[in-house]
């Protein structure tokens, strides 16, 4: 519908000049502020009651947002929220005066009662950025309730053209700032890794950064396990992050598996959809129940085979990430640094073991041999003095006993130096193996969640930890008649093992006998064993203070 009352353009009329506030915000890279200033300038130029800029999503099918300026700031904010993510009914490519009935929309839906300024016909002018349609600038009736004239259209159209340049500049500045933050985030993580920071702390920082940079609701870092068919969520950030840390994600019948095999960054419209026709792993279904758009970026540096996953709530806009996006570069660079840090850690462990072997060899070949020679000399002297000076011979005998005890302690230290085998399986690997072996051949679905620095635990607690997990999972397999078991091992100030099942509970006689050993193990370390059982299943929690090295 063309605007009414179209007079000839006024000769010598000047194009409107953007206010200084618009220019300032555009050059400083504040896109949202620039959009508000553009709408404010249009409202002031024609004397409208309300103005709005409807910004298209990148796909052009929905409103990304509606930036509203009006006499009442609260009313403007209310309208903006109502229009968020609405399906586009009509966007104009040329100036037009539109009516609600043309677009088949009831203005009551947006809370516009009879007599509201936004109910009447409104002027819509396209705003283009770089030749592409960015959105429409809408203006309601004037303060004086007069219709829009072609002079108004001319002014607003010229303003929209200049505003498109300002918006383009602000968008470019914002993208440059986002790229700078992503590069800085990568640099900080790489620096902390190479400075000796703990791998788990770095991965948690990585998840936090991905959550922020991708504007996601949930982000996680997935790492390989001893099982080639599973990745584990090593760190997570965002909504329900604590619940998914340590969860093992199978590569079969999951989007994670598809991306892991493709080795390419992938945008997924709906992570809840079946990755394979009619098949979707149950653990993935549970995690993605309320999530929609997903982004998965695999680590590209072999032998590292993990990935970063970011997800948004269902109904939010999809991710827009290409192969050369700064976020992909951030993940790739961090993965490379992570692998380099692991290589350095392995090299340090090998060097430490070499040093221990050298120290053990020197202790045996030099210190022990010299002390042993001294013991032999003192022994001969003691025997020669037994007849004439028995008291001195007795004191020499006690000295010899102390030296022999010293030799035994040194030999024990040598044995311990050799005992620290750098190729020994990790605590995580041992626990995974135990759960897999105990449940093997059973229809029981297992869910193993390992959180915290398990591999930094002192050696003396590991046998107890493995024994507790083995006993509790065995109890579920033998007695619970359960369909699923969840094993969580958490390490912070305490070491906690929690085993939960959905079965019928433990037999009373077993509770008095089989769990007694586990309770004793906990009490010896100043901890406790707590059993909670009901019609919906059983939870057993074994907790002890974390030993210090």
pLDDT in tens, 20-29: 545 554 455 4
List Cβ neighbours of 36 (8 Å cut-off, separation of 6 or more): 67, 69
Between 68-77, 222-231, 490-499, the lowest mean confidence (pLDDT) is in: 68-77
Average pLDDT over residues 362-367: 82
Residue pair 223/204 in contact by the 8 Å Cβ criterion = no
**d(Cα 69, Cα 41) in Å, to the nearest integer?**
10
Q: What are 108-155's pLDDT values in tens digits?
A: 665 566 666 666 677 888 888 877 777 888 888 777 667 777 788 888
Average pLDDT over residues 196-214: 78
Strands (E) in 81-229, as ranges, are: 96-98, 122-129, 132-139, 218-224
Angle between helices 150-194 and 199-213 (to 10 degrees): 180
Q: Give the confidence band of 441 by pLDDT, cuts at 50, 70, 90.
A: confident
Is the pLDDT at 290 greater than 70? The verdict is yes
CB burial of residue 401 (10 Å; 0-12, 13-18, 19+): exposed
Q: Give the confidence band of 5 by pLDDT, cuts at 50, 70, 90.
A: very low
Rounded to two decimals, what is the model's pTM?
Answer: 0.55
Is the torsion defined by CA of 225, 230, 231, 233 positive or negative?
negative
Of the two residues 138 and 528, the one the predictor is more confident about is: 528
Buried b (16+ CB within 10 A) or exposed e, 119-137: bbbbbbbbbbbeeeebbbb
251: Cα separation from own chain's centroid: 19
Tell me the two tokens of residue 45.
Answer: 């130029």
Q: Give the confidence band of 58 by pLDDT, cuts at 50, 70, 90.
A: low
Is the torsion defined by CA of 518, 523, 525, 529 positive or negative?
positive
List Cβ neighbours of 209 (8 Å cut-off, separation of 6 or more): 185, 189, 330
Q: What is the pLDDT of residue 230?
A: 87
Alpha-carbon Rg of the chain, whole angstroms? 35
Tokens 């130029």 appear where? 45
Residue pair 122/139 in contact by the 8 Å Cβ criterion = yes
Consecutive H or E run containing 450: strand 445-451
Angle between helices 427-439 and 462-475 (to 10 degrees): 20
Is the pLDDT at 181 greater than 50? The verdict is yes
CA distance to 230, 248, 256, 275, per residue, from 252 (Å)? 8, 12, 9, 9
Arithmetic mean of pLDDT over the chain: 78
Q: What is the pLDDT of residue 533?
A: 84
Of the two residues 102 and 167, the one the predictor is more confident about is: 167
SS3 content of the chain, % helix, strand, coil (to 5): 50, 20, 30
CB burial of residue 525 (10 Å; 0-12, 13-18, 19+): middle
23: Cα separation from own chain's centroid: 37
**d(Cα 168, Cα 27) in Å, to the nearest integer?**
10
Is the pLDDT at 471 greater than 50? The verdict is yes
Tell me the two tokens of residue 513.
Answer: 């006998």
Strands (E) in 299-381, as ranges, are: 307-313
Which 8-state DSSP code applies to residue 145?
-
Q: Give the confidence band of 512 by pLDDT, cuts at 50, 70, 90.
A: very low
Q: What is the pLDDT of residue 509?
A: 45
Residue pair 44/54 in contact by the 8 Å Cβ criterion = no
Of the two residues 522 and 344, the one the predictor is more confident about is: 522
Neighbours of 176 (CB within 10 A): 12
For residue 535, the SS3 value is coil
Average pLDDT over residues 3-27: 46
Q: What is the pLDDT of residue 69?
A: 83
Tell me the two tokens of residue 249.
Answer: 């994600």
Is the pLDDT at 6 greater than 60? The verdict is no
Q: Give the confidence band of 9 by pLDDT, cuts at 50, 70, 90.
A: very low
Is the pLDDT at 511 greater than 60? The verdict is no
Of the two residues 145 and 45, the one the predictor is more confident about is: 45
Backbone angles phi, psi at 377, to 5 degrees: -65, -45
Q: Give the confidence band of 409 by pLDDT, cuts at 50, 70, 90.
A: confident
Consecutive H or E run containing 137: strand 132-139
Q: What is the pLDDT of residue 291?
A: 93
Average pLDDT over residues 327-339: 77
222, β-bridge pairs: 233, 307
Is the pLDDT at 210 greater than 50? The verdict is yes
For residue 71, the SS3 value is coil
Is the pLDDT at 439 greater than 80? The verdict is yes
Q: What is the pLDDT of residue 107?
A: 67
Q: Give the confidence band of 2 by pLDDT, cuts at 50, 70, 90.
A: very low
**d(Cα 51, Cα 43) in Å, to the nearest integer?**
6
Residue pair 482/529 in contact by the 8 Å Cβ criterion = no
Of the two residues 349 and 519, the one the predictor is more confident about is: 519
Provide the greatest CA pair distance for the chain: 138
Q: What is the pLDDT of residue 283?
A: 87
Q: Give the confidence band of 514 by pLDDT, cuts at 50, 70, 90.
A: low
CA distance to 254, 273, 274, 275, 281, per residue, from 278 (Å)? 11, 10, 6, 8, 10
Q: What is the pLDDT of residue 159?
A: 79
């Amino acid at each position: 519908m063309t605007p009414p009352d179209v007079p000839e353009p006024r000769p010598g009329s000047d194009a409107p000049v953007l206010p200084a506030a618009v220019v300032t915000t555009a050059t400083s890279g504040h896109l949202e502020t620039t959009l508000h200033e553009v709408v404010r300038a249009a409202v002031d130029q024609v004397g409208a009651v309300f103005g709005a800029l409807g910004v298209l999503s990148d796909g052009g099918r929905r409103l990304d947002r509606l930036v509203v300026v009006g006499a009442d700031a609260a009313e403007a904010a209310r309208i903006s929220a109502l229009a968020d993510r609405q399906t586009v009914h009509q966007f104009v490519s040329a100036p037009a005066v539109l009516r609600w009935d043309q677009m088949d929309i009831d203005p009551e839906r947006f809370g516009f009662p009879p007599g509201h300024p936004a109910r009447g016909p409104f002027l819509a002018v396209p705003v283009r950025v770089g030749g592409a349609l960015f959105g429409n600038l809408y203006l309601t009736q004037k303060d004086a309730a007069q219709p829009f004239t072609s002079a108004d259209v001319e002014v607003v159209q010229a303003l929209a053209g200049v505003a498109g340049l300002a918006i383009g500049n602000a968008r470019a500045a914002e993208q440059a700032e986002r790229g700078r933050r992503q590069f800085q985030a990568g640099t900080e993580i790489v620096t902390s890794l190479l400075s000796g920071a703990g791998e788990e702390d770095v991965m948690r920082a990585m998840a936090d950064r991905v959550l922020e940079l991708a504007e996601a609701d949930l982000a996680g870092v997935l790492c390989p396990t001893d099982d080639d068919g599973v990745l584990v969520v090593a760190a997570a950030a965002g909504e329900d992050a604590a619940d998914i840390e340590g969860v093992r994600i199978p590569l079969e019948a999951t989007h994670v598996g598809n991306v892991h095999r493709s080795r390419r960054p992938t945008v997924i419209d709906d992570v809840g959809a079946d990755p394979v026709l009619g098949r979707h792993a149950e653990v993935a279904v549970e995690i993605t129940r309320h999530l929609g758009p997903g982004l998965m970026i695999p680590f590209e540096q072999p032998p590292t085979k993990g990935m970063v996953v970011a997800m948004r709530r269902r109904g939010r806009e999809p991710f827009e990430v290409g192969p050369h996006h700064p976020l992909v570069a951030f993940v790739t660079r961090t993965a490379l640094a992570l692998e380099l840090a692991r290589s350095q850690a392995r090299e340090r462990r090998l060097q430490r073991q070499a040093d221990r072997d050298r120290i053990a060899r020197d202790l045996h070949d030099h210190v022990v041999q010299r002390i042993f020679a001294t013991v032999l000399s003192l022994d001969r002297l003691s025997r020669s003095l037994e007849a004439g000076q028995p008291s001195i011979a007795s004191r020499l005998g006690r000295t010899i006993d102390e030296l022999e005890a010293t030799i035994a302690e040194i030999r024990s230290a040598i044995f311990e130096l050799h005992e620290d085998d750098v190729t020994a399986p990790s605590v995580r690997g041992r626990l995974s193996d135990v759960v897999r072996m105990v449940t093997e051949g059973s229809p029981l679905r297992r869910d193993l969640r390992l959180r915290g620095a398990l591999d930094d635990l002192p050696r003396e607690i590991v046998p107890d930890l493995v024994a507790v997990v083995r006993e509790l999972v065995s109890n579920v397999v033998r007695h619970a008649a359960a369909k699923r078991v969840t094993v969580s091992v958490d390490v912070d100030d305490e070491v906690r093992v929690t085993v939960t099942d959905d079965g019928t509970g433990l037999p009373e006689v077993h509770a008095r006998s089989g769990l007694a050993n586990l309770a004793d193990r906990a009490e010896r370390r100043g901890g406790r064993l707590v059993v909670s059982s009901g019609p919906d299943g059983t939870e057993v929690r074994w907790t002890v203070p974390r030993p210090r090295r």
